Amino acid sequence: MASSSNGKAKAPDNKFSDAEGYEMPWVEKYRPRKLEDIVGNSETIERLKVIAEDGNVPHIIISGMPGIGKTTSIHCLAHALLGDAYREGVLELNASDERGIDVVRNKIKTFAQRKVTLPPGRHKIIILDEADSMTAGAQQALRRTMEIYSNTTRFALACNMSNKIIEPIQSRCAILRYAKLRDAEVMKRLKEICEMENVKSSDQGLQALIFTAEGDMRQAINNLQSTHSGFGFVSPENVYKICDQPHPVKVRQLVRECQKGEIDQALARINELWEAGYSAVDIVTTVFRVVKGMEELPEYTKLEFIREIGWTHMRILEGVGTLIQLGAMIARLCRMSLPPHLLKL
Ligand SMILES: Nc1ncnc2c1ncn2[C@@H]1O[C@H](COP(=O)(O)OP(=O)(O)OP(=O)(O)O)[C@@H](O)[C@H]1O
Ligand SMILES: [Mg+2]
């Protein structure tokens, strides 16, 4: 982060230049610094903005999928609340730090007891990022600490699964759930970054990034940067090469063949994907996502297909990731499309 502070002086508004000539990961370069720069989940962000203005922070838990802005939001909130006092007023512990019971007893307590000068009406903040990786014992040790020091110190937890946080901690906190980002939201951000970085891209290329990222902004930005530095142009072909996922256009053809009951062609296609080295999970998840987004499939067929794909996904996750399973899935999908009188056994 040393270069980021250099860059900040030269180019404000998130636009960091790399003084040493090496390229900073764009996810860090374009990490929002203010709450209003965070994309998506607008209602929750609005709530955080109100909290930042009032200064009356409850203990909070932010939960949601990876790469949608949880850590970023907590940092922005802490900056908005404490301003220059951030250094003194914030203790951040994430999964890479030791966070056993001893740390909760010593480090967190010592910080909570310490006297620091903060803007009036503000509290010290303890950020526990990736809190779902804390052991239940360590979480138990937090319970009373959270209460005893609550007049001076507030806790902000981020986690992927809120059910990994023990009930008593949940009941002491306001829980904010972040949803996956919408395609349009990710698209807007990608376009902004493309403009700032002079990335050459086609619209379908950006769509492909969104398809592969599935609402995960971090992944979308990372893949954008890899495609840009690897190929110099963001087209669907280049994106799928970088992400190493089965090409959805091929998978869409496969689904169309299943819909028409053309089992030979469909099997040949699945063979082709298999021989290209994709794993059964890669294939089945792409088939699922393609079917989900296929507007031309009638609703009834779509639901039946999704159910069948779901069963196959389950079997694969149980360990039977063979070509036979995928073939069987294709056969069942084709079978649904055939007139029932042909299927009397
Ligand atoms: N809502 C968002 N708006 C703008 N950028 C975002 C958003 N969410 C994620 N990003 C980008 O992705 C990067 C990672 O975000 P962040 O660290 O907040 O994810 P997270 O939700 O904490 O994920 P994890 O659960 O993996 O810790 C940020 O640096 C930023 O570039
Ligand atoms: Mg995080």
| Å from CA of 175 to ligand 1 middle | 18
- For atom 18 of ligand 1, the residue with the nearest CA is 69
How far, in Å, CA of 51 to CA of 75, rounded?
Answer: 14
pLDDT at 20: 52
Atom of ligand 1 nearest to the CA of 29: 31
* Domain extent listing, the chain: 26-177, 183-243, 248-342
Ligand in nearest proximity to the CA of 64:
1
Residues that place a CB less than 5 A from ion ligand 2: 71
Q: Which of 249, 314, 318, 322 is nearest to 280 (CA)?
A: 322
Burial 109-138 (b: 16+ CB within 10 A, else e): bebbeeeeebeeebbbbbbbbbbbebeeeb
Which residue out of 41, 71, 94 has the highest number of ligand 1 atoms within 8 Å of its CB and is therefore the one to mutate? 71
| Å from CA of 114 to ligand 1 middle | 31
Which residue out of 14, 218, 224 has the highest number of ligand 1 atoms within 8 Å of its CB and is therefore the one to mutate? 218
How far, in Å, CA of 253 to CA of 287, rounded?
Answer: 10
Q: Which CATH class is domain 248-342?
A: mainly alpha
| Å from CA of 74 to ligand 1 middle | 11
pLDDT at 56: 84
Atom of ligand 1 nearest to the CA of 70: 21
Ligand in nearest proximity to the CA of 161:
1
How crowded is the C-beta side of 137, counted as CA atoms within 13 Å?
Answer: 6
| Å from CA of 53 to ligand 2 middle | 24
- For atom 6 of ligand 1, the residue with the nearest CA is 69
pLDDT at 345: 59
Residues lining ligand 1, Cβ inside 6 A: 27-28, 30-32, 38-40, 66-72, 158, 160, 181, 189, 217-218, 221
State the residue for tokens 């059910």.
163
pLDDT at 6: 39
- For domain 183-243, give its CATH number from 2.30.110.10, 1.10.8.60, 1.10.3720.10, 3.30.465.10: 1.10.8.60
| Å from CA of 72 to ligand 1 middle | 6
Domain 26-177: give its CATH architecture. 3-Layer(aba) Sandwich (3.40)
| Å from CA of 68 to ligand 2 middle | 8
**SS3 for 58?**
coil
pLDDT at 1: 36
Residue numbers of the chain with a pLDDT score lower than 70: 1-21, 343-345
Q: pLDDT tens digits, residue range 166-204? A: 999 999 999 999 999 999 999 999 999 999 999 999 999
For the packed helices 183-197 and 203-213, what is the interaxial angle rounded to 10 degrees? 130
- For atom 30 of ligand 1, the residue with the nearest CA is 31
